[in-house]
Structure 1
Amino acid sequence: MKPPQTGSKTETLPSLLEAIPEATRARIAVYLYSRSHTHELGIRIAATCERRALKQAPGLVGDAIHDLSRKPCAATSFGSRSVSSKGISLGGSLRVGARA
């Protein structure tokens, strides 16, 4: 049985975060922001923190993500790079006449 739907993701995140102390949320935001696949989530969590808490979080990005979290979200660009028609090989390059 699936859990009941309680609304959109934008409504769910603040309700999940409200029980977490602000200093902890700031550290989570910095951590998530520093990973490419959770970058946007880090910014959304940073939006729930004051600048002071983000500046005290470990790392050098506190001010930057505070500013980013107060701007409108841009569309993500995942998968926008094109891959050449040759594809990708994990076999490495082969040299003609190379000895093993």
Structure 2
Amino acid sequence: MPAPQARLPSPDDCPVSLDVLGTLYRGDAEIVETVLAEIPSKTRARLAAYLYGKSHLHALGLRVASACTETDLVRVAGTAGSVLFAQSRAAPRAAETRHPGQRRISLAGSRSVA
């Protein structure tokens, strides 16, 4: 039996045009917010699930999901939609939180000790 061949996602798999997807991918926060507001809620939820399922677009999927209601995400993706909703609300806070006195680590400025 031949091994199954991997199929590259086609543009038809994405619920928005490639132009819109490119704008979301490259846009700053204000542009993304504006574009997401123009996308119907059910399509926005489908887009969040689509993007979240792609490893290289995972973060963008969370960003889109943060503009969706839990109801829409659950209708589109079931239990996974509920998880996506929760992660989209938790991820920005966890990523931006630093403890007082915590320094950023940079290896470029480190000195070697002989």
Q: Is residue 75 of structure 2 the alignment partner of residue 56 of structure 1?
A: yes
Count of residues in correspondence between the two structures:
68
Give aligned-pair identity as a percent: 38
Query: Is the CA contact 1:22–1:53 (under 8 Å) kept in the aligned structure 2?
Result: yes
Offset at residue 61 of structure 1 (A):
1.5
Q: Deviations over 1:12-51 (max 9, x none)?
A: 1110111110000000000000010000000000001100
Could you tell me which runs of 5 or more consecutive residues in structure 2 were left unpaired when the two chains were aligned: 1-26, 97-114
Q: CA RMSD in A?
A: 1.8
Moved over 2 A (4+): 72-75
Q: Deviations over 1:70-90 (max 9, x none)?
A: 114338xxxxxxxxxxxxxxx
Could you tell me which runs of 5 or more consecutive residues in structure 1 were left unpaired when the two chains were aligned: 1-7, 76-100
Using CA pairs below 8 Å that are at least 6 residues apart, which structure has the higher relative contact order? Answer: 1
What aligned pairs does 1:72-83 form with structure 2 within 5 A after superposition? 72-73=91-92, 74=95
Equivalent-residue separation in structure 2 for 1:28 and 1:35 (angstroms): 11
State the TM-score, normalizing by the size of structure 1.
0.62
Higher helix share: 2
What aligned pairs does 1:1-100 form with structure 2 within 5 A after superposition? 9-58=28-77, 60-73=79-92, 74=95
State the TM-score, normalizing by the size of structure 2.
0.55
Query: Is the CA contact 1:30–1:59 (under 8 Å) kept in the aligned structure 2?
Result: no
